[in-house]
Amino acid sequence: MATVVHEPPKMDVDRLPSQGSGNGGWRNLVPASGDLRKVKDSSPPPASTGIWVALASITMTFAAFTSALVVRQGGARDWQHMALPPILYFNTLVIIASSFTLEISRRRIAAFMGGLQERAENPLRWLYITLSLGLLFVAGQIFAWHELVSQGLRFATNISYSFFYVLTIAHALHVSGGIGGLVRVIAKFNQRVLKRSTLDATSRYWHFMGALWVYLLVLLWLKL
């Protein structure tokens, strides 16, 4: 899987007005004199902004789930505390590790794109490792659900289990989306058309999924 890249992938460059829209830039504050020559063409790639917007939306969704859990538990007499399946702790290590491996890969490709290094040393290897860890995480989650179901602990067994399934499945679906993103990054890298903004957006999403999982684990551990 060792890969040596001999020609740089296409990079995102600032767009000129003749090349399309976007030079307005969100930092583009027109000076009081109105002199457009002083305007900095600093439009960030839409993917950079877009990923933060998407993460804000996902944050709101999980905040809503959290508040639902807190409110539902607050007045509940039927709440049964559940023991989390031990494999979740292993899965936590897996997803944290995957963030590190992705960051190693991202930095190597970024340094290469930025011209700091002449060759990108084995970035694909780390991307594949990240992908494998992501798949392992999802498989681990499926194992956890299977383990609970085999003990007869299902969605409707008790409200604590309901929340456990809802939160972990919602998170796993989002991680699956991240896996799709990683596959896309690898495919684009192989085709030499990977853009820095795509790589950065994917890695931000992935790190967010890791952080979100740690948050969920703490929440589940404390509340369930």
Partner 1 sequence: MHDMSAHAVHHGAPTSFIRKHIFSLDHKVIGKQYYALALVAVIVGMVLSWLMRLHLGFANFAIPGLHLLSKNGAPGDIMTPEYYLQLMTMHGTIMVFFVLTTAPFAAFGNFFLPIQTGAEDMPFPHFNMMSFWVTFTGFVILMASFFVSDGPTLGGWTQYAPLSAVGAVSGPGQGTGVVLWAFSIAFFCVGQLFGSLNFITTTLDMRCKGMSLMRLPLSAWAWFITSIMGLTAFAVLMPAVILLILDHIAGTSFFVASNLVINDSLLPHSGGSTLLWQHLFWFFGHPEVYIAIIPGMGIVSHILITNMRRPMLSHRVLIYSMGALAVLSYMVYGHHMFVSGMNPISSLAFSFPTLIITIPSTIVVLIWLGSLYGSKLRINSASLFALGFISMFISGGISGFFLAQPSIDILLHATYFVVGHFHLVMAVAAIFGIFGGTYFWFPKMTGRMMNESLGQLHFWLTFVGAYCIFMPFHYLGIAGNVRRYQAFVDDYLIPLIPVHKFITVAALATGAVQLIFIYNLIYSRFWGAPAPDNPWQGTSLEWSTATPPPHNNFGDKMPVVYHDPYQYSVEGASSDFIMQTSPEPVHSADEEK
191 binds partner 1 (CB under 8 A): no
- Of residues 77 through 116, those in contact with partner 1 by CB under 8 A are 77-79
How many residues belong to the chain? 224
CA distance readout (Å), 193 to 7, 119, 174: 11, 16, 25
Judged by CB under 8 A, the stretch of 29-37, 84-92, 112-120, 140-148 that binds partner 1 is: 29-37
CB of 107 to partner 1, least distance (A): 19
Element (H, E) at 153: none
Judged by CB under 8 A, the stretch of 3-11, 12-20, 85-93, 116-124 that binds partner 1 is: 12-20
Which is nearer to partner 1, 90 or 159 (by Cβ)? 159
User: For residue 216, how many other CB atoms are within 10 A of its CB?
Assistant: 20
**Beta strand ranges found along 76-136 (DSSP E):** none
Contact 154, 37 (CB under 8 A): no
CA distance readout (Å), 103 to 83, 96, 126, 132: 33, 11, 9, 15
- Of residues 140 through 159, those in contact with partner 1 by CB under 8 A are 155-156, 159
Helix (H, G, I), strand (E, B) or coil at 121: strand
Which is nearer to partner 1, 4 or 193 (by Cβ)? 193
Which is nearer to partner 1, 84 or 166 (by Cβ)? 166
CA 78 to CA 33: how far, in whole Å?
Answer: 67
Type of residue at 146: H
Q: Please report, as ranges, the residues that interact with partner 1 according to CB under 8 A.
A: 15, 17-26, 28-30, 32-34, 36, 39, 41, 43-51, 53-54, 56-58, 60-61, 63-65, 67-68, 71-72, 74-79, 155-156, 159, 162, 166, 170, 177-182, 184, 188, 195, 197-198, 201-202, 205
